[in-house]
């Protein structure tokens, strides 16, 4: 088996972030994560406590979001979502950088927002920053990575998945711009084993997907 796919289950943030997700769907997501030993589940803030209840005693992490998916919430609102998410049981926060600022070149404000949230989270909570790469030029993506690095986050993430999916070219750009200072999470439209292989080869270390179970079944069929 390709080394890139070794322990593939531990690359997945198993996601249920659509607006119609209800409590049974969240509980099912958590049970799937336990069964397949995924790294984390990704849920909206209102479901963090439910996920914490369902995952009690397991090794699966809980990921909550801030400013998701539109990015244009006030910084204090994103901060509240992030801190409250951790208080409710989240181990990681995926925040959406202000895309309007990114496309306008207002990078100092983007960095300051990231830094504000990072500063108010416990040191052991991982902060990932979604930059909605599909809305940015290559140069803007590179500048966004610098904001993520200088803001103190641990990951740059391609996109929310609401406005297009992750591409290999995006991941390559982010990986090269990061230069080992932050990791890259690919998310959005990841539905096949081949996509996983290509995105990991391009430099991603984490994958966000709502199709994680189907992808693992595809992998198991090859073994």
223/219 Cα distance (integer angstroms)? 7
Q: What is the pLDDT of residue 223?
A: 83
Task: Choose, from 61, 78, 128, 185, the residue flagged as catalytic.
Answer: 185
The phi, psi pair for 61, rounded to 5°, reads -80, 160
Which residues, 6 or more positions from 78, have their beta carbon under 8 angstroms from its beta carbon?
66, 67, 95, 96, 113, 117
Nearest in space to 7 (alpha carbons), one of 35, 29, 37: 37
Q: What is the pLDDT of residue 84?
A: 98
Active site residue 185: yes
Neighbours of 21 (CB within 10 A): 18
Active site residue 3: no
Q: What is the pLDDT of residue 216?
A: 98
Active site residue 157: yes
Q: Helices 75-88 and 107-119 meet at what angle, rounded to 10?
A: 30
Beta-ladder partners of 187: 208
DSSP code for 111: H
Q: What is the pLDDT of residue 4?
A: 85
For 22-53, letters b (16+ CB in 10 Å) and e give eeeebbebbebbbebebbbbbbbbebbbbbbe
Q: What is the pLDDT of residue 30?
A: 98
Cβ burial, residue 56 (10 Å; 0-12/13-18/19+): exposed
Render pLDDT for 138-164 as a digit per residue (tens, 0 to 9).
999 999 999 999 999 999 999 999 999
Regions of the chain where pLDDT drops below 70: 1-2
User: How distant, in Å, are the alpha carbons of 44, 103, 153 from that of 22?
Assistant: 11, 34, 30
Domain ranges of the chain: 3-222
Q: What is the pLDDT of residue 165?
A: 96
Render pLDDT for 162-196 as a digit per residue (tens, 0 to 9).
999 999 999 999 999 999 999 999 999 999 999 99
pTM for this entry: 0.97
Q: Which fold has domain 3-222?
A: TIM Barrel (3.20.20)
143/160 Cα distance (integer angstroms)? 19
Nearest in space to 28 (alpha carbons), one of 56, 54, 57: 54
Q: What is the pLDDT of residue 2?
A: 62
Q: What is the pLDDT of residue 138?
A: 98
Task: Choose, from 13, 61, 78, 94, the residue flagged as catalytic.
Answer: 94
114-49-32-134 Cα dihedral, nearest 10 degrees: -30
């Amino acid at each position: 088996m390709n080394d890139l796919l070794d322990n593939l289950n531990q690359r997945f943030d198993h996601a249920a972030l659509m607006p119609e997700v209800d409590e049974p769907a969240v509980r099912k997501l958590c049970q799937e994560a336990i069964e397949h030993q995924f790294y984390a589940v990704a849920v909206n803030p209102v479901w963090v406590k439910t996920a914490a209840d369902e995952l009690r005693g397991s090794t699966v992490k809980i990921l909550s979001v801030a400013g998701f998916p539109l990015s244009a919430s006030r910084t204090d609102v994103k901060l509240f979502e992030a801190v409250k998410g951790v208080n409710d049981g989240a181990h990681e926060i995926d925040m959406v950088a202000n895309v309007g600022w990114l496309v306008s070149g207002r990078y100092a404000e983007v960095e300051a927002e990231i830094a504000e949230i990072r500063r108010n989270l416990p040191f052991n909570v991982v902060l990932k920053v979604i930059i909605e790469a599909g809305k940015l030029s290559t140069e803007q993506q590179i500048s966004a990575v610098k904001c993520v690095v200088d803001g103190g986050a641990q990951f740059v993430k391609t996109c929310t998945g609401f406005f297009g999916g992750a591409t290999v070219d995006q991941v390559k750009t982010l990986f090269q711009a990061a230069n080992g200072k932050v990791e890259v999470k690919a998310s959005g439209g990841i539905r096949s084993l081949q996509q996983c292989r290509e995105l990991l080869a391009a430099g991603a270390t984490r994958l966000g997907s709502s199709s994680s179970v189907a992808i693992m079944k595809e992998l198991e069929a090859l073994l």
